[in-house]
Structure 1
Amino acid sequence: MKKLSVIMSVILLAIALVAVAATEDSMVIPGVEMLFRDSENLKLIEGKRVGLITNPTGIDRNFNSTIDLLAGHPACKLTALFGPEHGLRGDFFGGDKVGNTTDSKTQVPIYSLYGSGAKAPKPEHLKLLDVLIYDIQDINVRPYTYISTMMASMEEAAKAGKTFIVLDRPDPMGGNIVDGPVLDLKFKSFIGYWTIPYTYGMTPGELALLYNDEAKLNADIHVVKMSGWKRGMLYNETGMPWVPPSTHIPRWDTSIYCAITGGMGELHTVNEGVGYTLPFETVAAPWIDGTAFTAELSSRNIPGMKFRPISYKPAYFEFKDQNLSGTHLFISNPREVKPFLAGLHIMDAINRMYPDKKMFEAGGRVSAFNKAMGTDQIRQWLMEKKPVMEIYAEYQKGLQDFMKRREKYLLYK
C-alpha cells in the first residue's frame, strides 16, 4: 500500500511538472525576460551604463518592473531613466507637461521626454550611458506617441553612437490589423512620425527595424525578441498581464476602440467616452439622438462591430457634467474589425445626420485632426460627403505598398 502511494505521488508530481511546462510553453515571454534568460542577449548590457525609456507597462510576467530588474542586476549599471507622455509612472493626463525628477526607489535621475522641450534623450544625457533600452507596451495606433518617442530616441542614439535595444512586446491587436491612410510626411508631427498607416500591425521591435532602415539612421539596433508570440495572437491569448499604458487604455481591447474613435476625439466636437467609464467606447453629444444614431450605424453592417444606444454624463473632458446621448460601441469580432473604416462610418453618420453641427470645424481643431489622420484628404472627403467605401478605396494602394515594405522586418510569423 505504501509502495502504491509512493508511485501515485511520483505520477502526480510528473503530471504537475508537465502541466507547468505546458503552461510555460503556451505563454508569451516578453523581451525583458528574454534579456536576462539568454546569455547572448545579456551580453548586450554586460559591463555597460544603461539608460531606460519605460513606463508602468515595462514589467515581466510577475509584475517586476524593468527599472528594478536592471537596477538590481550585477551585469550593468542603470544610470538614467526617461519618461514618455504620461510620465515614467503613468500618473500624468494625456498632453500634460512632465518634468524631470529622481526615482524615489532607485535614486536614478528621470528625464522627461514629453512637455519638457525634449522628445528624446539629449546629448548630455546620452553621455551618461553606453546603451539605451526601450521597453513600453504599444497599442498599434499611430497617433499614440510612444512610438514617436522610440523613433526620435533612435535618431539621437544613432547620432551619439549609442546602442539602442528594444525589449519587444506584443501588438495587442494581433499584428494583422493594418488600416487607414499611410502618413503623408507633410503632416509629420509627434502624433504621426513616419510613413506608416493609422494601424500598422507591427511590434515595437519590428517598427524600430523598419524605421532604422527606411530613415537611414544606421543606428546600432538590437531587438530582444519575445518567445511564444505568433501573428494573429490577441493580447488576451498571451497569458501576460495587461498594465494600462495610459489613463484611458484600461484594457487590452481598448486599443482597438481607441483606433476607432481616438482620431475623431482630436476634433473636440463629440465625446468618445473619455471622462466616463468607457474611454473610446462611446460617441455621444448633447445634440445626438442616441436611438436614431445607433440605428443608422447598425444599418451599415460595419465589420466586427455592434452598437447600442447610451446616455451618460461625463465627469470631465468634453461636455463635462452635461447629459449626453449617443451610441455604445461593441467589438463583436476583434479579428474582423477594421478600426479606421469603422471610425469613418461613425464620422460620416454624424456629418450626414447633424450637418448644422459642423463636426469638422466647430472645435477649432482642424490641424490636430489632419495630423492624426496623416493627411488633410480624409476631412475634405468627409465634408464633401464622399461615400465611405470610396474613401476606403482611396487609401488601399498606400496600404498595399506598406504591406510590401513591412514584410522584411516582421520577426514573428
Structure 2
Amino acid sequence: MFNFTFFFLAIWSFCLSVTGLELKLGVDCLFEANNIVKLRNKKLGLITNQTGVNSNLSSTIELFLNHDTQLIALFAPEHGLYGLEQAGVKVEPQSIHGLPVYSLYGATRRATSSMLQGIDLLIFDIQDIGCRSYTYLTTLCYILEEAAKHKISVMVLDRPNPMGGLIVDGPMLENKWRSYIGYINVPYCHGMTIGELACYFNQEYRIGCDLEVIRMKGWQRSMFFKDTKLCWIPTSPNIPEAETPLFYASTGILGELGIANIGIGSTLPFKVVGAPWINARQFAKKLNAQKLPGVIFHPCYYRPLTGLYQSENCEGVLLFILDHKIYKPLSVQYMIIGLLKSLYREQFTNRLKQLGTERKKNFCKANGNEHMLEILSNEEYIAWKLIGYQFEDRQKFLTKRSAYLLY
C-alpha cells in the first residue's frame, strides 16, 4: 500500500529546502557539535563586519565569545567593522570586548606579521555581493596569501551569493589590470559563493593555504537572496537591500566614468541613471526598445543630494528587474552606456575627454581590461560590442569553475 504520510512528509521537506526555511549559514553550521571541536585549543583571528551574523541575527563575534573560544583578534575590511565608512575612506584600528580590531583598509590592506602573531586559525565571515569589483573578495584573497606565508590555517564560513549561483556575466580580468577592485580572474558576475571563490583562488593561483570551507545547508544555486528567507544586513552604505547587488552590477562600472549619476547621493543607489542633459522619456523608450530580458526602464526625475550633479535636476531612467532568472546585469549596463553615447553624443564625448587619468584607470580596473575604454572612445556603435566581449572566455570559465562548486 502506498505510504501517503511518507510521501507528503518528503514533499514538505523538499519544499522547506527550496524556499530556504531550513537554510543554515556556514556560521550556523560551525557552532554545531561536529564542527565546534575544530576550534578547540586554537587561537583565533576573525575577519568580519556588521554582516557577520547567524540566521537568527546573532553576531558572529558574540557567538565566539559566548562559546568560550580563544578569540584573540578581529580584522575589519573596507567600510569598517560596523559598515559606517563610505567607499574609499580609510578605516582606523580600534578595539572592542578587549580585543584589537585591525584595519585591513587603512595603513595596510594586508594582515601583517605583527597582526597575525599568535594566531593558529583565521576565520572569514563576511557577506559578499557576487561582483568581482566588491573589495571583500580581494580582502579574502589577501588573507589566503598572507596565511599561506605565515603557515596559518584559514576557515571560510560560507554565505549565499545574493544574485544566486547561475548569473555569469561580464568580462574576465586581464593580469595587467589586477588591483584591489579586481584581484581574481573571474567574470564580473561569477555566480559563486565566497567559499567557492576561496577554493578557486587557492587552487588556481597555487596559494597553498590550509583552507577549509564550512558549507551552508539548504542553499541551491537557483536561489536569490529573497529565496533564502534570511534577513539582509547592508554590506556597505550604498548596498542597503538584498536586491541592490543586481543593480550595482547593472550601473556600477558606468559610475566609474563620472558621466551620469547612478543614484549615489540619492535614495536609489545604483537603481537610476540620470543627468541634467538626458531626456527621460526618450532614454526610457530607446532602452525598452532593445527588449533586454527581465528588465524594464521607467522615466525618472530626481535631484541628487550629494555626488555627481549634486542639487541639480536630473532626468533619466529607473530600472525595474522583472525576472531575475533571465536578467543579464552587464548586458544592461553596456546597453545603457552605448545609448548614452549614441543619443547624447556631444555631452558624452565632452565628459569623456574631461576624464582624468585616474578615472580612466579605475574604469579599466573595474572592467578588467582597457579594451572596453578603447571601444567606448573610438567606436561609433558600441553597445553590442561591449556586451559580446569575451563571450568565449566566459564559456571556458564555466567549465573551469565546475570543479569548485560546493552546491
Query: TM-score normalized by structure 1?
Result: 0.91
Give the alignment partner of residue 119 of structure 2, picking from 107, 111, 129: 129
Aligned to 1:296: 286
SS of the aligned residue for 1:199 comes to: coil
Residues 339 and 383 in structure 2, CA contact (< 8 A), matched pair in contact too: no
The 8 Å contact of residues 348 and 385 in structure 1, kept in 2 or not, is answered as no
**2:81 matched to which residue of 1?**
88
Deviation at 1:379, TM superposition (A): 1.7
Which position in structure 2 is the counterpart of 1:5? none
Which residue number in structure 2 is paired with residue 227 of structure 1? 217
The Cα of 1:387 is off from its aligned counterpart by 4.3
For the pair 1:407 / 2:399, whether they are aligned, the reply is: no
Alpha-carbon distance in 2 for matches of 1:62, 1:32: 11
Letter of the 1:280 counterpart? F
Identify the match of residue 250 of structure 1 among 240, 244, 252. 240
Residue of structure 2 equivalent to 1:371: 365
Aligned residues: 391
SS at the partner of 1:125? helix
Residues in 2 aligned to 1:135 and 1:294: alpha-carbon distance in whole angstroms: 40
Residue 92 (structure 2) aligns with: 99
Residue 343 of structure 1, CA deviation:
0.3
Moved more, 244-253 or 358-367: 358-367
- Residue of structure 1 equivalent to 2:60: 66
User: Once the 2 structures are TM-superposed, how far is the Cα of residue 30 of structure 1 from its aligned partner?
Assistant: 0.4
2:21 counterpart residue number: 26
| Map 1:153-192 → 2, pairs under 5 A | 153-192=143-182
Q: TM-score, structure 2 length as denominator?
A: 0.93
**Is the CA contact 2:25–2:54 (under 8 Å) kept in the aligned structure 1?**
yes
- Greater mean alpha carbon deviation, residues 41-50 or residues 242-251: 41-50
Compute the displacement of 1:28 (Å).
1.3
Q: Does residue 193 in structure 1 map to residue 183 in structure 2?
A: yes
SS in 2 for 1:133: strand
How far apart, in 2, do the equivalents of 1:214 and 1:352 lie?
Answer: 41
In the alignment, structure 1 residue 328 sits paired with structure 2 residue 321: no
State yes or no: 1:79 paired with 2:106: no
Instruction: Give how far 1:289 is off.
Output: 1.0
C-alpha displacement of 1:388: 2.6
Per-residue CA distance 1:302-352 (angstroms, 9 max, x = gap): 111101111111111111111111111111111111111110000001011
Query: Which residue type is aligned with residue 70 of structure 2?
Result: K
**Worse-superposed segment, 193-202 or 20-29:** 20-29
Instruction: Provide the secondary structure at the position in 2 that maps to 1:28.
Output: coil
Question: Which of residues 32, 36, 44 in structure 1 aligns to 2:31?
Answer: 36
Q: Distance in 1 between matches of 2:131 and 2:352?
A: 21
Q: Which residue of 2 aligns with 1:112?
A: 103
Q: CA RMSD in A?
A: 1.8
Please state how far the C-alpha of 1:392 moved relative to its aligned partner.
Answer: 2.7
Mapped contact 1:304–1:331 kept (Cα < 8 A): yes
Q: Distance in 2 between matches of 1:390 and 1:275?
A: 31
Matches within 5 A, 1:132-143: 132-143=122-133
Give the conservation status (yes or no) of the 8 Å contact 1:360–1:366: no
Aligned match of 1:152? 142
Distance 1:101 1:233 in 2: 37
Report the residue type matching 1:391 in the other structure: L
Q: Which amino acid aligns with 1:78?
A: L
| Deviations, residues 122-147 of structure 1 (Å, cap 9, x unaligned) | 11111131110111111111111000
Amino acid at match of 2:162: P
Q: Secondary structure at the match of 1:293?
A: helix
Pairwise CA distance, 1:373:
0.4
Q: Could you tell me how far apart the structure 1 residues matched to 2:86 and 2:389 are? A: 35
Q: Confirm or deny: 8 A CA contact 2:169 2:189 kept in the other structure.
A: yes
Secondary structure at the aligned position of 1:278 is classed as: coil
Where 1:266 maps in the other structure, the secondary structure is: helix
Secondary structure at 1:308 match in 2 = strand
Residue 20 and residue 102 in structure 1: after superposition, are their counterparts in 2 closer, same or farther (change >3 A)? Answer: farther
Is 1:380 matched up with 2:357? no
What does residue 45 of structure 2 align with? 51
Find the aligned partners of 2:16 and 2:170 in 1 and give their Cα distance: 37
SS in 1 for 2:333: helix
Paired position in structure 2 for 1:390: 385
CA positional deviation for 1:38? 4.3
Matched, 1:350 2:345: no
Preserved contact between residue 337 and residue 383 of structure 2 (Cα < 8 Å): no
SS state at 1:400 partner: helix
Q: Describe the superposition over 1:78-115 as per-residue Cα deviations: whole angstroms up to 9, x where unpaired.
A: 11111101001111011111111112xx121101101x
Tell which deviates more after alignment, 183-192 or 264-273. 264-273
Per the alignment, do residues 239 and 45 of structure 1 end up closer, same or farther by CA in structure 2, a change over 3 Å counting?
same
What corresponds to 1:309 in structure 2? 299
In structure 2, stretches of 5+ residues that fail to align are: 1-10
How far the C-alpha of 1:63 sits from its partner, in A, is: 1.0
Cα distance between partner residues in 1 of 2:49 and 2:353: 35
Q: Distance in 2 between matches of 1:108 and 1:23?
A: 39
For 1:61, the aligned partner's letter is S
**Counterparts of 1:175 and 1:45, CA distance in 2:** 30
3-state SS in 2 of match to 1:283: strand
